[in-house]
Amino acid sequence: MKRSKHIIMITIFILLVYFLYDDGLGAIPFLLAAIYLCWITIKEIQSLRKSKRM
């Protein structure tokens, strides 16, 4: 389930880039993708820290 959620989100970002790039709004999906990837990174770092404590 976790992997499918990530695949769906990335697919949405790719579709947004495809449809918004010609209108000059291509930076919006890239910004959303960067925020999403930073959030994933923070969550993974937190889970790694928790697993090392045990």
Full domain range(s) for residue 46? 2-53
Q: How many domains does the chain have?
A: 1
- pLDDT of the residue at 1: 58
- pLDDT of the residue at 35: 92
Cα–Cα dist 48/45, whole Å? 5
Q: Using one digit for the tens of pLDDT, what is the confidence trace for 1-54?
A: 588 988 898 899 888 888 888 888 878 888 888 999 999 999 999 988 888 765
Concatenate the DSSP letters of all residues of 1-54 into one string.
-HHHHHHHHHHHHHHHHHHHTTTT-THHHHHHHHHHHHHHHHHHHHHHHHHHH-
